[in-house]
Structure 1
Amino acid sequence: MDLRLSGEVLGAGGFVEGRVDLSGGRIVGAGGGRDVDLSGFWILPGLVDAHGDGFERHLAPRRGAMRDLGQGLMACDAELAASGITTAVLAQFFSWEGGMRGPDFAQRFLEALERTPMATAIFPQLRLETHLLDEYSRFAAVVAAHDVPYVVFNDHLPHTALAKGKRPPRLTGQALKSGRSPEAHLALLEEMFTRRGEVPGRVAALARDLRARGVHLGSHDDRDAAAREGWRAAGVSICEFPETRAAAEAAREGGDFIVLGAPNIVRGGSHSGNVAAADLVEAGLCDALASDYHYPAPVQAVFRLVEDGVCDFQAAWRLVSEGPARMLGLRDRGRIAPGLRADLVVIDPQTKRVGATFVAGRVSHMTGRVAERFMR
């Protein structure tokens, strides 16, 4: 659509009363589209969500995945749009945990994503469990076949319990989700643990091959500075959800990108006792706030940061728009400027509710008083 939206526009210098012209899916300097008066509302760059796995509940609202993953993905698409997200990274496990996190399901997920029409711009991320050594060749083939642009390395193996020869916590429930017996699941964990010495070399080789393909590489839950420096040495330049300030500081000193969880800010801290994301934001140790497991969280986190005096609105919004876009190499979005994609979100500052979301100039969500303005 060709539109001329008038309201409070968030630009490079903050909010100004102004106009945003949309034509051909882009923001243009001056257009002749229909005028829409959005006075009293904020017109903002669309959110770029750098990591979210909230789609899992859409694909399996009860135990066992839906037969038609496309229907679940479309439901997820609607939630993304209602949350103001215009570009979303869907983070899918490729893990020994099995079930919805196993290699077979990862392939199903990617195939469904390719054939499902989505209003939101979607990028898949595959999260490889580093100790799943026997599946590395298959993983590389899946990344190539589906042109996966983003890979993250995870390690959820219960090292402490296995090192002590103890039964890991939550073993039975985890085994049931994987479709294995508890005995078989424990045997698998123990076998992977005995081969842990092979992991660094295999990861480094895989990371080298993925970088050659232009894949963005990240690590997850870095525990300390040494862990981050090790990942950087392997060419992994994105630090997702560092568990400590030391890990985040090491990432910043090395020029790496830092992704933090928006739910951590909304909650007022980590649910697992790790460093508080708001403290890292205040220290300048954050490039992107991601939804993690709750798609409404990025907008909520922005308002929480402002209310708590951590930063101003413009700086907070940059963490959910321009920052993650830059991290992912998406230079055509994340800001409101002529020539960029018309990825926009309209918010009612009184209710803090997303009233409209535009993806490349097309409406993906519209409701309430904002919708009334468009219907006039």
Structure 2
Amino acid sequence: MSATEQILTHARLILDDEVVDGSLVIREGRIADVDTAPSRVAGALDCQGDYLLPGLVELHTDNMEKYFQPRPKVAWPGRQAALAHDAQMAASGITTVFDAVSIGDVDEQSMRHGALHDMVDALSGIVGSGLSRVDHRLHLRCEVSHPETLTRFDVLADTPLLGLVSLMDHAPGQRQFASLAAYRTYYQGKYGLDDRTLEDFIATQLANSERYSGEHRRAIAGRCRDRGLALASHDDATVAHVAESLEYGTRVAEFPTTREAAEASHRHDMAVMMGAPNVVRGGSHSGNIAASELVGMGVLDILSSDYYPAALLDAVFRIAAMAEGYSLPRAVATATRRPAAAVGLDDRGRLAKGLRADLLRVRVVDDHPLVQRVWCAGRQVH
């Protein structure tokens, strides 16, 4: 065994269609060999029967925002915030992360607007300097009903880390907030608005959606197509929403809110993404369709940790344990192979010779998967 080689043995390897006991060789950051027999090489790392699976691929998380503003009106230095977020990704078994930052917000005073460029710059900085533990990419979440969204998108559209763009509209009366009562409860609680101010707020959001959403969707989708950027829809609720997403060349259906939208997306080969917290908590916090229902229908393709990084691995093992759930290899694929394929990353997401050695060693204790070690491109990062 050379200085650039690592051998992991006595592991339960989660392959594409089966789980086998065997060993794996890492050489120069790649998987050099996968064997269904234990290794006899001196110095091999004994995994003691733990699972070995591909590193998790996260397409949508706004977790980084919490580190840039740990409390209301408290701004944290950019590099420190980005590195703390990076460390949490590694500890959660996430080796490829598309960090989501939002363009456009209903609250112009929110940190999402003020810290947008700080977050992008800090992320680019830790990646460019080699300080990051895991592979970071950028996901621009575009609130298409905001008047300045297209202008702000154009400023960031050629950022080297950019790999995914999603189109959102959180205006009342549709998609995530089909229920106006739920919308009122959410935004009145979030911003402390009195009844008159809330009604003015709703009227403004409806007018902005009517004025800007269609124009911005078409323009941003066209720019993504020209640049070869993967495009995602967000909170599709109807078959008409899905048809519109297909027209724009959408690859990923983020968090469809109804059975009809999820089925239509899956049928048309858009990868259906649901939140891992939805699985762990047993349902949607917004009252929309439960991820477990989509598992039972066989149409859940991708899991995302969304706002809670550790939920991703937990949800993988939970859907594998459901009575109507997926096999363990299929469950693992929802957080590895399927998200990687959806954004055109064909060099990771599987335990196969020649791919990146992004690996995760997991031990199950009392039905709970615990991260033991994490490798990113062959380098142990946790």
Q: 1:145 to 1:182 in 2, by over 3 A?
A: farther
Match of residue 322, structure 1, among 337, 348, 360:
337
2:56 aligned with 1:52: no
Match of residue 64, structure 1, among 58, 73, 89:
73
SS of the equivalent of 1:123 reads: strand
1:121-174 per-position Cα deviation (integer Å, ceiling 9, x unaligned):
11111111111133412312212245522111111123589x99xx95565665
In structure 2, the residue matched to 1:193 is 206
The AA in structure 1 aligned to 2:236 is D
Offset at residue 185 of structure 1 (A): 9.3
SS of the equivalent of 1:274 reads: coil
2:111 aligned with 1:94: no
2:250 aligned with 1:240: no
Offset at residue 101 of structure 1 (A): 5.0
Q: 2 CA distance for matches of 1:19 and 1:76?
A: 31
In structure 1, the residue matched to 2:22 is 18
Offset at residue 353 of structure 1 (A): 0.7
2:287 aligned with 1:277: no
Q: Is the 8 A contact 1:153 1:219 kept in 2?
A: yes
SS of the equivalent of 1:126 reads: strand
Q: 1:186 to 1:135 in 2, by over 3 A?
A: farther
Q: 1 CA distance for matches of 2:52 and 2:269?
A: 32
The AA in structure 1 aligned to 2:363 is D
Q: Is the 8 A contact 1:171 1:182 kept in 2?
A: no
Q: Unaligned stretches of 5+ in structure 2? A: none
In structure 2, the residue matched to 1:372 is none
In structure 1, the residue matched to 2:91 is 82
Q: 1 CA distance for matches of 2:289 and 2:149?
A: 33
Match of residue 29, structure 1, among 30, 33, 37:
33
Match of residue 280, structure 2, among 266, 277, 298:
266
Q: Identity across aligned pairs (percent)?
A: 31
The AA in structure 1 aligned to 2:68 is L
Q: 1 CA distance for matches of 2:108 and 2:23?
A: 50
Match of residue 266, structure 2, among 252, 258, 278:
252
Q: 2 CA distance for matches of 1:317 and 1:171?
A: 36
SS of the equivalent of 2:274 reads: strand
Q: Is the 8 A contact 2:17 2:330 kept in 1?
A: no
The AA in structure 2 aligned to 1:273 is G
Q: 2 CA distance for matches of 1:83 and 1:191?
A: 40
2:133 aligned with 1:119: yes
Q: Is the 8 A contact 1:93 1:101 kept in 2?
A: no
In structure 1, the residue matched to 2:5 is 2
Worse-superposed segment, 18-27 or 297-306? 297-306
Q: 1 CA distance for matches of 2:304 and 2:87?
A: 18
Offset at residue 99 of structure 1 (A): 4.3
2:212 aligned with 1:207: no
Worse-superposed segment, 321-330 or 193-202? 193-202
Worse-superposed segment, 221-230 or 327-336? 221-230
In structure 1, the residue matched to 2:351 is 336
Q: 1:347 to 1:55 in 2, by over 3 A?
A: same
Q: Is the 8 A contact 1:90 1:124 kept in 2?
A: yes
Q: Is the 8 A contact 2:101 2:112 kept in 1?
A: no
Q: 2 CA distance for matches of 1:146 and 1:339?
A: 25
Offset at residue 249 of structure 1 (A): 0.9
SS of the equivalent of 2:309 reads: coil
The AA in structure 2 aligned to 1:2 is E
Q: 1:33 to 1:88 in 2, by over 3 A?
A: farther
Match of residue 108, structure 1, among 118, 131, 149:
118
Q: 1:145 to 1:301 in 2, by over 3 A?
A: closer
Q: 1:44 to 1:170 in 2, by over 3 A?
A: closer
Q: 2 CA distance for matches of 1:209 and 1:200?
A: 14
In structure 2, the residue matched to 1:357 is 374
Offset at residue 357 of structure 1 (A): 0.4
Q: Is the 8 A contact 2:8 2:23 kept in 1?
A: yes
SS of the equivalent of 1:272 reads: coil
Q: 1 CA distance for matches of 2:197 and 2:78?
A: 28
Q: 2 CA distance for matches of 1:225 and 1:286?
A: 17
Q: Unaligned stretches of 5+ in structure 1? A: 366-376
The AA in structure 2 aligned to 1:20 is L
In structure 1, the residue matched to 2:157 is 143
Q: 1:101 to 1:204 in 2, by over 3 A?
A: farther
Q: 1 CA distance for matches of 2:303 and 2:32?
A: 28
2:309 aligned with 1:295: yes
SS of the equivalent of 2:365 reads: coil
1:24-78 per-position Cα deviation (integer Å, ceiling 9, x unaligned):
1111038989411112211111111121112222222211243412212211111
